[in-house]
């Protein structure tokens, strides 16, 4: 096996691992959010069904995928953003699947179509932002201030 094909095999293995992890995370979150929406009183169920909360799933998946990519030796920057966008998109599909299974029969076709189109796009955007929040420098520091699971007060050893 050549060095190129060995590298390609490792890269595809990382992509499959990222896809499986993001989908699994999205499915678990989707199940929890769908159950919460169904079981909570109306005032609280609104929170479980809000798209802002769903988008956090994409953001966290993007941060996780970038951290995973960095730990496996990938470079920061554009590769992280694309990896994060991919993970966020896949995680949002995972969130949507349980919701669609439960709610699609009683929801208007236009609302279902809206979620099928807008949901994955929002997941990709939030995933890219989550991945970029792990980047060093000014851009990473400003995004970390808004990312869950990070500390904006964390001292940085890098200059912008």
pLDDT tens digit at each of 160 positions of the chain: 444 444 455 556 667 888 889 999 999 999 998 898 889 998 888 887 787 888 899 999 998 888 776 665 655 555 678 888 999 999 999 999 999 999 889 989 999 999 899 999 999 999 999 888 887 765 555 565 655 555 554 444 454 4
Phi, psi angles (nearest 5°) of residue 53 = -70, -40
Which pTM value belongs to this model? Answer: 0.74
Contact 106, 39 (CB under 8 A): no
Give the single-character DSSP code of 158.
S
Place of tokens 């992280």: 80
Place of tokens 């904006």: 152
Hey, how many other C-beta atoms are within 10 angstroms of the C-beta on 42?
A: 6
> Alpha-carbon distance 103 to 91, whole Å?
19
């Amino acid at each position: 096996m050549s060095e190129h094909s060995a590298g390609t095999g490792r890269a595809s293995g990382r992509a499959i691992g990222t896809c499986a992890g993001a989908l699994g995370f999205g499915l678990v979150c989707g199940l929890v959010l769908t159950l919460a929406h169904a079981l909570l009183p109306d005032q609280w169920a609104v929170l479980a069904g809000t798209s802002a909360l769903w988008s956090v799933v994409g953001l966290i998946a993007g941060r996780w995928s970038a951290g995973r990519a960095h730990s496996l030796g990938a470079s920061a920057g554009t590769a992280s953003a694309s990896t994060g966008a991919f993970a966020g998109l896949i995680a949002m599909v995972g969130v949507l699947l349980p919701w669609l299974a439960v709610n699609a029969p009683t929801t208007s076709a236009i609302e279902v179509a809206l979620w099928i189109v807008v949901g994955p796009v929002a997941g990709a955007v939030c995933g890219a932002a989550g991945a970029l929040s792990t980047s060093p420098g000014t851009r990473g520091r400003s995004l970390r201030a808004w990312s869950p699971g990070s500390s904006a007060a964390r001292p940085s050893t890098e200059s912008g």
